[in-house]
Amino acid sequence: MTSPVSELIELLSLERLEDNLFRGQSRDIGTKYVFGGQVVGQALSAAQATLAAVDPDKGPRAAHSLHAYFLRAGDITAPIVYEVDRTRDGGSFSVRRVTAIQHGQPIFVFAASFQIHEPGPEHQLSMPEVPRPEDIAPTAPPPPEVLATLPIKVQRWLNRMGPFEFRPIYPRDDLNPPKRPPFQQVWFRLSEKVGDAPELHRALLAYASDFHLLGTTTFPHGISYYQPNVQMASLDHAMWFHRPFRADDWLLYSIDSPSAQNARGLARGMVFDLQGRLVASTAQEGMIRVLPVDPPKA
């Protein structure tokens, strides 16, 4: 049997159909539709695959930012085709636009910018003071008797052994969520060591960056994705890569939600390595609908 990490790397390794056309498969990890991080990671992989021949004498061009919109829910049972537009190759920067297509319709649009390495001024915000990952116990799945009362897909999501290990600083019971301020910090890492290719680690972090973001916007309201009257979906996703990192080393995801309104919530994240270096930043807005609960029938 292949490991979850090997399956994820295979998922991010797209089949090249043409110079600018790629096909990726989907995985059912317990979500109703294709997991948003999968599409972000695959789109970044497609864009990165078109950069190898761009002025190699200046060195590789690494992704420094990406911006994406989720247009339609993705079908877990069908492959996704990624069409890359080589928008610009300048002296230092390159831009790629990617459209993800399923069943003849775009489900996702994406733009990413890439840059050669250049020296310049540096500063960053400090990492929050939190316990180290080795001082935090791994999160245990819900007891079997609790899992048995949940829908099958929710059971699969909560009971899965995924490719990433997550250790929240202040865990929350999402099945019975309390009201809390909209902040959280989570240590995470890939559960196995992988190769050194920086583009692989960027695609892996893009995949993982979709975890925990939108959920933070629900904290002040005492609701969660697992409640049947709560509908949640990512609307957009943005990410900035600041410094080199490894997705198979511990990283701290520090997230806050400055606002929720009009059935939408906004979340922001900063990703730090164990040395306290800010390696990436994220932002996401998502739909949050709380539907009326039907009164019990007589």
Q: Are 114 and 61 in contact, with CB atoms under 8 Å apart?
A: yes
Residue 233: pLDDT above 90?
yes
Q: Among the options 38, 94, 102, 234, which is catalytic?
A: 234
**3-class secondary-structure state, position 258:** strand
Residue 97: CB atoms within 10 Å: 16
1 pLDDT above the threshold of 60:
no
Identify the pLDDT of residue 146.
Answer: 72
> Quick check: 33 pLDDT over 70?
yes
In this predicted structure, the answer to whether residue 230 has a pLDDT above a threshold of 60 is yes
DSSP for 130-160 reads ---GGGSPPPPPPPHHHHTTS-HHHHHHHH-
Of 86, 113, 110, nearest to 18 (Cα)?
86
| Active-site option among 42, 113, 155, 284 | 284
Residue 267 phi, psi (nearest 5): -130, 150
Q: Is 231 a catalytic residue?
A: no
Whole-number pLDDT of residue 225:
87
**43-65: average pLDDT:** 91
Q: For residue 192, what is the DSSP state?
A: S
Per-residue pLDDT at 213 exceeds 70: yes
> In terms of DSSP bridges, do strands 80-89 and 62-70 run parallel, antiparallel, or are they unpaired?
unpaired
User: Is 220's pLDDT higher than 80?
Assistant: yes
Report the alpha-carbon distance of residue 292 to residue 234 in Å, rounded: 21
In the chain, the domains with their CATH numbers are 4-117+139-290 (2.40.160.210)
- Using one digit for the tens of pLDDT, what is the confidence trace for 64-101? 999 999 999 999 999 999 999 999 999 999 999 999 99
For 279, the 3-state DSSP assignment is: strand
Pick the closest to residue 66 from 282, 255, 216 (CA basis): 282
Amino acid in position 90: G
CA 105/CA 94 separation, integer angstroms: 27
Given the residues 26, 210, 248, 273, the one annotated as active site: 210
Q: What is the pLDDT of residue 55?
A: 82
Q: Is 234 a catalytic residue?
A: yes
pLDDT at 142 over 80: no
Q: Please report which confidence band the pLDDT of residue 298 belongs to, taking 50, 70 and 90 as the band edges.
A: low
Burial of residue 179 (number of CB atoms within 10 Å: 0-12, 13-18, 19+): exposed
CA distance 8 to 45: 12
Q: What is the mean pLDDT of the chain?
A: 92
Q: Could you give the CA distance from residue 81 to residue 232 in angstroms, rounded to a whole number?
A: 25
**Is residue 275 flagged as an active site residue?**
no
CB 82 within 8 A of CB 259: no
pLDDT class of 160 with cuts at 50, 70, 90: low
Q: Dihedral (C-alpha) 186, 189, 191, 192: value to the nearest 10 degrees? A: -170
